[in-house]
Amino acid sequence: MNRVMAIAEKDFKEFMRNMMLLTMPILPILMTVIFSKTPLEGEEGTTLAILMIAICLGAVLTGTIMTMIAEEKEKNTLRGLVNSPASMMDILIGKSLVVSFFTIITIFICLTILDVTLLTNIEMIIGLILLFLFFLFIGIAIGLVVKNVSETSIYYLPVLFIFAMAPTFSNMGMDKNNLFVKLNNYSPTSQYDLLAGSGEIKHIVIIGIWTLISFFITAFLFKKNTID
């Protein structure tokens, strides 16, 4: 716990000094304010809420954690951290606490602005936790892959478009038999949107598989970074 809190305290100080990281929560909040002017009810309101949650996860959670890890890598401090007495879970939890806190606050603000009740049952809560972990692991994995902070911009938009905005592509009036639409429906965010409509456990299982795969990729890259 001491190691975890030491890592979290260090990251919090770095977060508060970095204006780029501090402004990341502004994007989803502004988008929520803009979209809230459009009157939506029922499933449309739920889909918009899920889209805003996904953008919060992609823009704030993934964007912030990959930037912070890439910055450590650029400064050559990550090498010392991964080879320290702290375990992989100590480091991952410690580095996740700060970004998770700011992400949760951003999601809360967005849902308050939209005035949509989304987490109404245990299935939606479990699905959100798994979706949260998926975007977190994706961000850590990207941070471990890139060599410097500037390279994170290459991955930032693809994460937003491919994963965060997946429900948007499903509702653009495209042919349901289109291969892109079929594949897009199996993305974790689209599955969460489908979960909100049906409540079927299979959607949680698919999101869980995505999360598990992202964790294994992150663990592999973490181990790889401990070896020169």
**Given this model, what pLDDT does residue 41 score?**
62
Average pLDDT, the chain: 83
pLDDT digits (tens, 9 = 90+) for 78-99: 777 777 777 778 878 888 888 8
Closest to 126 measured CA to CA, from 199, 77, 219: 199
Position 174 pLDDT exceeds 70: no
Average pLDDT over residues 57-79: 84
Structural domain spans, the chain:
2-225
pLDDT digits (tens, 9 = 90+) for 102-121: 899 999 998 888 887 777 78
Tell which phi-psi region holds residue 7, choosing left (phi > 0), alpha (psi between -120 and 50) or beta: alpha
At residue 170 the predicted structure's pLDDT band, cuts being 50, 70 and 90, is low
Position 186 pLDDT exceeds 80: yes
At residue 181 the predicted structure's pLDDT band, cuts being 50, 70 and 90, is confident
Distance of CA 29 to CAs 24, 36, 55, 106, 121, Å?
10, 10, 10, 7, 25
**Given this model, what pLDDT does residue 176 score?**
65
Torsion of CA 129, 132, 137, 143, to 10 degrees: -160
Q: pLDDT over 90 for what percent of the chain?
A: 19
Position 210 pLDDT exceeds 90: yes
Q: pTM score, two decimals? A: 0.88
